[in-house]
């Protein structure tokens, strides 16, 4: 069963002089095991949208259904939050316990699970994120490196075994290697556990590389929804929305400006590279 | 032409209290007046520690740090050093101290005891230089991240510094905000000869600078032009870094036999090369 967003609108401070319509009439679905990328200019409503996916915010109009459960129903909220794991920006700032294991156990403990189950889940989550519990469980979160802290924070969410994982800029502030490690981890969760992924990112390259579909938000509305190919072939519109393009797409456009005809709108560097090499061999 | 040295480190080491590991080991480097340099390195490599030594926010445990010849360890130099070396930090929401943009920009010179009429003119000039004059009387909390960072830069300009140090100042911004901040500091360098030190996790941002310093595990492992540094692929990999995407593509094309220049590192340069190679056939 998917997450269904049906005609969602959200207005902050409704009815007041400061009423601010942040989202209007958004409809989309996140299927099991799907990777949905969300892109949009700052202020386009990305954060407001994802906070609706586990009931942190409720729609002013419309509905959000998680596996059929409506987020408006108060008594379902705990259930919904265990289905939808939410990873905010810089989640490592939220580490607070004395040991990594205790931190990772916080979520399952709140779910009311028994101690052995909590322990098992914490260790499983630490293994998933590549922090072997034998080495890390007893460490203080503050002894970890930046990338390790980020993964420990992610483990805390995974220990709740969410069916969907919603991530807001999960790679921000990480070094190039750390970025790749987190992306590989997210991708392996999807492949291994069929976890549905919703990822907000400013990096068009990362979204182009991993997303099955991309939702483009523009001033609170759903500007586009489609495969990376569909979305990134509408480069001019994206630029008008204040977004940029994947680096491969930018190179394709620069080549066309110089009279080199490239038919496809490439959005992945490796595919463009193959095309250029094939082309050169062919021309020769 | 001998260029004046602005910041110089000689055999500098640093260790945080309570930490078992040295954060910086035996670093020697100098930054010249009017240069734009980038400092790159993995998370925890010591980049931020290093730049906090530049304006006496941290003091070296070993070795010497001087700003225009002034030792940062001598307390009587601290204020003057901090005025000359301005820092912009990562989080746009942590750096603005007042509610109105122009008050924020005037905060620094006011603390320096500059007379009010002079403060006014400095604030005007500074806001103009970061292209934020239209926002002088606006509420600072309502600005975008990129605008906040530009106001933070204006606040430094109002103190008439010689060096701007950006400690991952674009990390929390969207692509447009990043571009705003970058083009602002590069313009200040071009038009006013401002010395700029950028610490960044985005390798593409280091492409347009004069020199790149690479830190790894607290050591300075490489120093050179972007060209030199990004061609050292093995050393970059050891340092947990990678070359910018266009440099990686260029190398893949070259190794496949395409006769394109080693100098092409950006989208436009690569497109020029490819247009030449592909249409000449």
Average pLDDT, chain A: 92
pLDDT, residue B1, reads 47
pLDDT, residue B2, reads 59
Phi and psi at residue B221, to the nearest 5°: -100, -15
Phi and psi at residue B172, to the nearest 5°: -100, 10
Comparing CA positions, the residue from B255, B224, B221, B251 lying closest to residue B236 is B221
What is the pTM for the complete model shown? 0.88
Mean pLDDT of B89-114: 90
What's the pLDDT band for A284 if we cut at 50, 70, 90?
confident
What's the pLDDT band for A144 if we cut at 50, 70, 90?
confident
Give the CA distances from residue B192 to residues A6, B78, B162, B188, B195, in Å, rounded to whole numbers and listed in that order.
54, 24, 10, 5, 9
Residues B199 and B248 in one domain: no
pLDDT, residue A240, reads 92
Residues B36 and B76 in one domain: yes
Residues B276 and B180 in one domain: no
CATH number, position B37? 3.40.50.300
Rounded to a whole number, what is the distance in angstroms from the first to the last CA of chain A?
Answer: 52
Mean pLDDT of A36-43: 92
Q: Give the residue with greater pLDDT, A220 vs A1.
A: A220
Comparing CA positions, the residue from A69, A5, A51 lying closest to residue A225 is A5
Its domain, for residue B269, covers 244-281
Beta strands (DSSP E) in A1-131 are: 3-12, 20-30, 35-40, 61-66, 69-70, 84-87
Domain boundaries, chain A: 3-228
CB contact residues (below 8 A), chain B span 179-198, against chain A: none
In tens, the pLDDT along B220-265 reads: 999 999 999 999 999 999 999 999 999 999 999 999 999 999 999 9
Contact criterion met (CB < 8 Å) for A273 and B252: yes
CATH of A3-228, one of 3.30.1490.20, 3.10.100.10, 3.40.50.300, 2.30.110.10: 3.40.50.300
Contact criterion met (CB < 8 Å) for A146 and B43: yes
> What number of H helices and E strands is found in chain B?
10, 10
List strands edge to edge, sheet with A164-168.
Answer: A84-87, A164-168, A196-200, A35-40, A213-218, A221-226
By C-alpha distance, the chain B residue nearest A278 is: B256
Instruction: Give the gyration radius of chain B's Cα atoms.
Output: 20
Residues B171 and B250 in one domain: no
Task: Pull the structure tokens for residue A252.
Answer: 């394709």
Give the A-side interface with B, CB within 8 Å.
Answer: 41-43, 89, 145-147, 172-178, 202, 204-205, 242-244, 247, 250-251, 254-255, 257-260, 269, 272-273, 276-277, 279-280, 283-284
**Strands A164-168 and B70-71, bridge-based pairing:** unpaired
d(CA B35, CA A172): 28
Do the Cβ atoms of B198 and B36 come closer than 8 Å? yes
- The distance of A279 to chain B (nearest Cα, Å) reads 8
- To the nearest 10 degrees (0 to 180), the angle between helices B145-157 and B175-192 is 20
Residues B239 and B220 in one domain: yes
By C-alpha distance, the chain A residue nearest B254 is: A277
Residues B193 and B125 in one domain: yes
How many domains does chain B fold into? Answer: 2
pLDDT, residue A162, reads 94
Mean pLDDT of B60-74: 96
Residues B192 and B258 in one domain: no
CB-CB: which of A89, A204, A279 is closest to B278?
A279
Mean pLDDT of B255-278: 94
Average pLDDT, chain B: 92
pLDDT, residue A174, reads 85
d(CA B103, CA B257): 59
Task: Pull the structure tokens for residue B127.
Answer: 């806001």
d(CA A159, CA A107): 7
d(CA B236, CA B212): 12
Give the CA distances from residue B75 to residues A227, B30, B55, in Å, rounded to whole numbers and listed in that order.
60, 22, 12
Residues B147 and B274 in one domain: no
Q: Give the residue with greater pLDDT, A175 vs B103.
A: B103
CB-CB: which of B168, B240, B267 is closest to A177?
B240
Residues B238 and B249 in one domain: no
Cα three-residue angle B111-B183-B211, rounded to 5 degrees = 90
Phi and psi at residue B134, to the nearest 5°: -65, -15
Residues B10 and B91 in one domain: yes
Comparing CA positions, the residue from B40, B78, B3, B51 lying closest to residue B165 is B51
Task: Please identify which residue in the block is written with the tokens 């340092």.
Answer: B239
Task: Pull the structure tokens for residue B198.
Answer: 């950028």
**Strands B36-41 and B62-67, bridge-based pairing:** unpaired
Mean pLDDT of A171-175: 85
pLDDT surpassing 70 at residue A61: yes
What's the pLDDT band for B280 if we cut at 50, 70, 90?
low
- The most confident of the ranges A107-111, A277-281, B19-23, B210-214 is B210-214
- Return left, alpha or beta for B201; rule: phi > 0 is left, psi -120 to 50 is alpha, else beta: alpha
Mean pLDDT of B32-55: 94
Calculate what percentage of chain B has a pLDDT beyond 70: 99
pLDDT, residue B275, reads 93
Phi and psi at residue A142, to the nearest 5°: -80, -10
Collapse the DSSP code of B91 into the 3-class scheme (helix H, G, I; strand E, B; otherwise coil) and give the result.
Answer: coil
pLDDT, residue A142, reads 85
Residues B167 and B272 in one domain: no
In tens, the pLDDT along B103-160 reads: 999 999 999 899 999 999 999 999 999 999 999 999 988 888 889 999 999 999 999 9
Residues B122 and B18 in one domain: yes
């Amino acid at each position: 069963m998917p997450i269904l967003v049906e005609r969602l609108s959200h207005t902050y401070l409704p009815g007041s002089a400061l009423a601010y319509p942040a989202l209007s009439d958004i409809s989309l679905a996140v299927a099991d095991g799907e990777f949905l990328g969300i892109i949009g200019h700052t202020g386009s409503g990305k954060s407001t949208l994802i906070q609706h996916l586990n009931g942190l915010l409720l729609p002013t109009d419309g509905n959000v259904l998680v596996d059929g459960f409506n987020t408006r129903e108060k008594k379902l909220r705990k259930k919904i939050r265990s289905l939808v794991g939410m990873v905010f920006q810089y989640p490592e700032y939220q580490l607070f316990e004395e040991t990594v294991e205790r931190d990772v156990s916080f979520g399952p403990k709140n779910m009311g699970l028994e101690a052995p189950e909590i322990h098992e889940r914490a260790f499983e989550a630490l293994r998933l994120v590549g922090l072997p519990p034998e080495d890390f469980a007893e460490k203080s979160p503050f002894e970890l490196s930046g990338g390790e802290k980020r993964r420990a924070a992610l483990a805390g969410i995974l220990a709740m075994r969410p069916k969907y994982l919603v991530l807001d800029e999960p790679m921000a502030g990480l070094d190039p290697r750390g970025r790749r490690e987190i992306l590989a981890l997210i991708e392996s969760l999807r492949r291994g556990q069929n976890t549905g992924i919703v990822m907000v990112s400013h990096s068009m390259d990362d979204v182009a590389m991993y997303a099955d579909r991309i939702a483009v938000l523009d001033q609170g509305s759903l500007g586009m929804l489609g495969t990376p190919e569909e979305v990134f072939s509408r480069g001019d519109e994206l630029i008008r929305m204040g977004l940029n393009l994947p680096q491969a797409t930018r190179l394709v456009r620069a080549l066309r400006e110089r009279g080199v005809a490239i038919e496809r709108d490439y959005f992945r560097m490796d595919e463009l590279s193959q095309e250029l090499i094939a082309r050169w061999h062919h021309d020769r | 032409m001998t260029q004046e040295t602005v910041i110089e480190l000689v055999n500098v080491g640093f260790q945080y209290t309570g930490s078992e590991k040295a954060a910086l080991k035996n670093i020697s480097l100098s930054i010249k007046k009017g240069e734009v340099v980038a400092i790159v390195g993995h998370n925890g490599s010591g980049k931020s520690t290093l730049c906090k030594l530049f304006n006496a926010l941290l003091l070296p445990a070993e070795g010497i740090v001087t700003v225009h010849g002034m030792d940062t360890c001598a307390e009587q130099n601290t204020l003057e050093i901090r005025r000359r070396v301005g820092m912009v930090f990562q989080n746009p929401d942590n750096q603005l101290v007042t509610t109105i943009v122009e008050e924020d920009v005037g905060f620094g010179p006011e603390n320096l005891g500059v007379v009010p009429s002079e403060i006014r003119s400095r604030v005007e000039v500074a806001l103009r230089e970061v292209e934020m004059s239209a926002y002088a009387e606006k509420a600072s909390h309502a600005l975008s991240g990129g605008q906040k960072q530009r106001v933070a830069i204006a606040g430094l300009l109002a103190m008439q510094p010689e060096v701007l140090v950006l400690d991952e100042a674009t990390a929390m911004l969207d692509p447009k905000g990043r571009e705003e901040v970058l083009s602002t500091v590069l313009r200040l360098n071009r038009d006013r000869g401002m010395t700029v030190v950028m610490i960044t996790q985005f390798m593409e941002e280091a492409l347009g600078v004069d020199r790149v310093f690479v830190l790894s595990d607290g050591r300075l492992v490489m120093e050179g032009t972007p060209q030199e540094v990004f061609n050292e692929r093995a050393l970059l990999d050891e340092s947990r870094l990678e070359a910018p995407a266009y440099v990686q593509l260029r190398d893949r094309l070259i190794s496949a036999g395409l006769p394109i220049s080693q100098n092409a590192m950006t989208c436009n340069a690569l497109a020029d090369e490819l247009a030449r190679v592909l249409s000449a056939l």
